Chain A
Amino acid sequence: MKKSIVSLFMLVLVLVLSACGGSSEDQTSEDPQADSGETAEDTRVIEHEMGETEITGQPEKVVALEFSFVDNLASLGVSPVGIADDDDSERIIEPIREKIGDYTSVGTRKQPSLEVISSLQPDLIIADMKRHKDIYDQLSDIAPTIILPSLAADYEGIISSFETVSKAMGMEEKGDEVLADHEAKMEELRAQVPEDEERTVLPAVVADSGYFAHNMESYTGSLLESIGLKNAIQSGDERYNKINLEQVVEFNPDVMFHMVAGDQTVVDEWESNDLYQNISAVENGEVHEVDRNMWSRFRGLISSEKILEDAINYLYEE
């Protein structure tokens, strides 16, 4: 009896084994990178966080697994076929949603659906270093994939990601144009900030669970610094810090940009406290509620311009 059970199990396992043995062999021969490209003239090698990827021609169907890449593509005039939008199209900020039109959601940024991505048959996938490093192999098997920093990047990192994306798209010239336009725009915005601007700013996500301040190295913080708006937090190991009222008082920002998440937030509670009322920004009426999707989730060229427009609008044109 014992033996029969054991042998039955071995049988099942052998079946399973042979089944997967067969398919994994096919897999290697289907590798798109192995048999593509050598001859075509416009084949280029893109260097990125996980190594080098060969891309041939101009990709038409692109899947973006972070919002900043959606922004990059939209800047180039490309509409991605698939976006990891956390299954909520509202998270794509209005100006970009208008540009890119329809797309297919591939699920959450944390765990995008590989099945949906492959069903879109893309010819380029752009993914984030922190979130998608572990599935790089699977993504590469579906289509040429480049992995760039987004989640952990500051403004400069975002710009260099954009350059890589335009190279990968085979649109380097267009990319340079866009970047030149962007820089001109940024210069124009920068010009609106007076030389002697000394006010400190504090961008933060405010939620019911806490006040998450973005310091000078964060994307939003570094962006604002780039036009001469000094961040109130010039320290800290982490770019995003959960802080309490006491620390806000200590940093005493002159301007606060609140990216509001949820109906109730800690700030509602703080408003009844004199300490909060005495923070420079509150005293001067410089607390501004801004769109969290645009200010913190998007991290791209278009959103950078919009953020600065927002900020300058609030600071100088009221």
Chain B
Amino acid sequence: MQHLSEQSSVVKYKMVLIFLLGILVLIASFIASLSIGAYAISFADVLKLLFSPDEGKAASIIHTIRLPRALVGIIVGACLAIAGGIMQAITNNPLASPQVFGVNAGASLMVVAGVVLFPGLGSSTLVYFAFLGAAVGGAIVYSLSSTGGGMTPVKLALAGITVHLFLSSLIEGIVLFHETSTEDVLFWLAGGIDGRNWADVRLMIPWSLTGLIGALFLGKGLTILGLGDDVARGLGQKIGWIRASSAILVILLAGISVAVAGPIGFIGLIIPNIVRKLMGSDYRLVLPLSAVFGAALLTISDVLSRFISFPAESPVGIVTALLGAPFFLYLASKGGRAA
């Protein structure tokens, strides 16, 4: 008995340490994101101007351009990582993530269709298109991969990537017909956060907060679900209810991200896997930690994306893909089971 509580205090200690580490990385990348850009502002000035803005150009740049962009990055990263974590818990499958599940591509297709078919729509309406698309994409992949005796990593990945490719081709077709610019196609296939402003932050906050808080409440249920349906039922969990609310949360979290930033991939795949490796499968810890590390990873990727073809902007989705695809290979070479 004593042994057990000792162990749990070690776990707690470790958890706090990792959590602090995550916050530290996040803050560092956040400041880097505020400091690096075409307009040179020194490190010290960034910190000073962040808290006491003056009338100058530098302060304006930080407060109207870099800050909202960094915040969008943090929110999107957190949302995608949590969505990935929830999906991996529900399906008990390390490859599950908004991208592999067709949720990103579905939302993206609906937003592109909305923009093309109803040009006057504001972004607050397009969010609902994104939710619908996310739901449909996810539902298709879920039903495709769970036919014929349970969902294995292979079935999920094959179904997910196939649907992803289909939807991406349709997006490409729509964008090509609508406007022949390559940049548009790339944005809608890779996703980016350059040029995002306070309006986008305001749009995201209510939805992402709902998703975040919901995820915190869901943590316990998801952890117990991991012990198997029977055990969970024995412990008095309403399995159907957990699954349904998980689905809704995933749609909210991934949908709002895609509506604002396009289908940024791999964050939702990598982060929960790493966090689980560090922390074990207690989703009360995994989900909040995923949020922190997801936010940090997207912010770092965003900083890196500014160097690809400086001074021009490149979609951040390219960086997350370059980082994430090899990680996918690592998971895949373990048969999609480990980590």
Residues in chain A within 8 A of chain B (CB atoms)? 86, 108, 110, 207, 209-210, 212, 233, 235-238, 241-247, 249-251, 261-264, 266, 269, 273-275, 278
Q: Smallest CB–CB gap between B112 and chain A, Å?
A: 11
- Decide: A247 and B38 in contact? CB cutoff 8 A: yes
Residues in chain B within 8 A of chain A (CB atoms)? 37-39, 57, 60-61, 64-66, 119, 179-181, 183-184, 187, 194-195, 197, 309, 311-313
- Decide: B57 and A246 in contact? CB cutoff 8 A: no
- Decide: A261 and B313 in contact? CB cutoff 8 A: no
Closest to B199 in A: A269
- Decide: A245 and B312 in contact? CB cutoff 8 A: no
Interchain residue pairs with CB less than 8 A apart (19): A86-B180, A108-B180, A207-B181, A207-B184, A209-B179, A209-B184, A238-B312, A241-B312, A242-B312, A243-B311, A244-B195, A246-B39, A249-B57, A250-B39, A261-B179, A264-B119, A269-B197, A275-B57, A275-B65
- Decide: B309 and A210 in contact? CB cutoff 8 A: no
Instruction: Name A237's contact: one of B37, B197, B309 (CB within 8 Å).
Output: B309
Chain B residue numbers with a CB within 8 Å of A275 are 57, 60-61, 64-65
- Decide: B197 and A246 in contact? CB cutoff 8 A: no
- Decide: A210 and B313 in contact? CB cutoff 8 A: yes
- Decide: A246 and B61 in contact? CB cutoff 8 A: yes
- Expressed in whole angstroms, the Cα–Cα distance for A274 and B181 within the complex equals 30
Chain B residue numbers with a CB within 8 Å of A247 are 37-39, 311
- Expressed in whole angstroms, the Cα–Cα distance for A165 and B226 within the complex equals 72
Q: Smallest CB–CB gap between A298 and chain B, Å?
A: 16
Closest to B312 in A: A241
Instruction: Name A245's contact: one of B180, B195, B309 (CB within 8 Å).
Output: B195
- Expressed in whole angstroms, the Cα–Cα distance for A262 and B181 within the complex equals 12
- Decide: A278 and B57 in contact? CB cutoff 8 A: yes
Closest to B55 in A: A274
Chain A residue numbers with a CB within 8 Å of B194 are 210, 242, 244
Instruction: Name A238's contact: one of B39, B184, B197, B309 (CB within 8 Å).
Output: B309
Instruction: Name A244's contact: one of B183, B184, B313 (CB within 8 Å).
Output: B313
- Expressed in whole angstroms, the Cα–Cα distance for A200 and B119 within the complex equals 35
- Decide: A110 and B180 in contact? CB cutoff 8 A: yes
Residue with the highest number of chain B CB atoms closer than 10 Å, among A210, A235, A261: A210
Chain B residue numbers with a CB within 8 Å of A209 are 179, 181, 183-184, 187
- Decide: B180 and A210 in contact? CB cutoff 8 A: no
- Expressed in whole angstroms, the Cα–Cα distance for A108 and B177 within the complex equals 11
- Decide: B311 and A245 in contact? CB cutoff 8 A: no
Known A236-B311, A275-B57; further 16 A-B contacts with Cβ < 8 A: A110-B180, A207-B181, A209-B184, A210-B194, A233-B311, A241-B309, A241-B312, A242-B312, A244-B65, A247-B37, A247-B38, A250-B39, A251-B38, A263-B119, A264-B119, A273-B60
